[in-house]
Chain A
């Protein structure tokens, strides 16, 4: 026991030194690297996504869906049928009833600032990270599905069957709820979410909504964008333009 504490203290000091050195060396990238791995994420950032439905083709959306499936390993349910199959990101085709204009879009967890799923979860399993990413802590999830009832986007899936051979970075299991993680494991490494990376154009932009020098922030300042179910005042992190 004593040993453990010593070890912890040792690590703490080392971490502090590393961070210090990195800052002294002024490598902004270096500091970010340290932050991303060893220090807790903070609310100075808010990760978000802007989907331009004018530029997003149907092929792009199909690509986004399969990129998500490959990254996280869903979509190969053997026993679940119909609506029981996992669906983290959906392709939607929407027609304006007045003008008949059709737009295509990808719908996934909108990573709300005020997520209804987090409010209703009895065990705190539904949670929002400081940087705005909404996740399910499957260690605490009891499978009550109240979050699925509360989600305005039907973005969550319940695992209806036993799974094996999961992705190393994406634990998934029978009887718990899951949804888009905004590829948090990649974002923490400084990478883009899989679906964003799969689109070759600028039709989907990912970045820090708060950072005024980020592309997403600057684009959102220029173009007209909407949130789905904006009437609910959830302040989603996924925004759409062109619908």
Chain B
């Protein structure tokens, strides 16, 4: 039994320590918002922990009820958190290796199902 408790807590702690990692994959726009001293999400820990719930709630609102506000829209996530490729106007996919979504998701070993359908780069980057 104790073994399971230890295992459980170490899994939980992994999430908490995700704070500590470098933010080189934060995304271009998110970077500039942070550098300008502004905040977009009022609490990093809340958005970190709760973003799946926010996104799921929002997706039902938008798809089923036609509520098209910007808050918690996946489009918004991708727009801010995508990083441009070096010397290019194209973006890396947010879910590709080393990019914003995959760094954490890989660390906590959870898969995400958003990008089997959703676009992975901001629309402006499209050719």
Q: Within 8 Å by CB, do A and B touch in the complex?
A: yes
Residues in chain A within 8 A of chain B (CB atoms): 1, 3-4, 7, 11, 36-41, 127, 129-131, 135, 137-139, 163-169, 171-176, 184-185, 188-189
- Cβ of B31 within 8 Å of any chain A Cβ, yes or no, is no
Partner of B118, one of A127, A171, A185: A171
Q: Is B66 within 8 A of A174, CB to CB?
A: no
Q: Is A139 within 8 A of B59, CB to CB?
A: yes
Q: Is B63 within 8 A of A137, CB to CB?
A: yes
Chain A hits for B46, CB < 8 A: 1, 3-4
Chain B residues 99 to 127 lying within 8 A of chain A, measured CB to CB, are 113, 116-123, 126
Residues in chain B within 8 A of chain A (CB atoms): 42-43, 46, 50, 59, 61, 63-69, 71, 75, 113, 116-123, 126
Nearest CB to that of B45 among chain A residues? A3
- How many contacting A-B pairs (Cβ < 8 A)? 66
* Cα–Cα, bound, A31→B16 (Å): 44
Give the interface SS of chain A, mostly helix, strand, loop or mixed.
Answer: loop
Residue among B43, B65, B119, B120 facing the most chain A CB atoms (10 A cut-off): B119
* Cα–Cα, bound, A135→B113 (Å): 19
Q: Is B67 within 8 A of A37, CB to CB?
A: yes
Asked, given contacts A1-B46, A7-B42, whether A165 binds B126 with beta carbons under 8 Å apart, the answer is yes
The 5 closest A-B CB pairs, nearest first, are: A173-B117, A40-B65, A171-B117, A41-B66, A168-B123
**Given contact pairs A40-B66, A168-B126, A176-B117, a sample of 15 additional A-B residue pairs in the complex whose CB atoms are under 8 Å apart:** A1-B50, A129-B64, A129-B66, A131-B66, A139-B63, A165-B121, A166-B119, A167-B119, A168-B122, A168-B123, A171-B118, A171-B119, A172-B117, A173-B117, A184-B66
* Cα–Cα, bound, A203→B26 (Å): 49
Give the interface SS of chain B, mostly helix, strand, loop or mixed.
Answer: loop
Whole-angstrom distance between the Cβ of A74 and the nearest chain B Cβ: 13
Chain B hits for A171, CB < 8 A: 117-119
Whole-angstrom distance between the Cβ of A190 and the nearest chain B Cβ: 11
Chain B hits for A129, CB < 8 A: 64-66
Q: Is A41 within 8 A of B65, CB to CB?
A: yes
Chain A hits for B119, CB < 8 A: 165-168, 171
Chain A hits for B123, CB < 8 A: 167-168
Whole-angstrom distance between the Cβ of A38 and the nearest chain B Cβ: 6
Q: Is A168 within 8 A of B68, CB to CB?
A: no
Asked, given contacts A36-B66, A127-B64, whether A3 binds B43 with beta carbons under 8 Å apart, the answer is yes
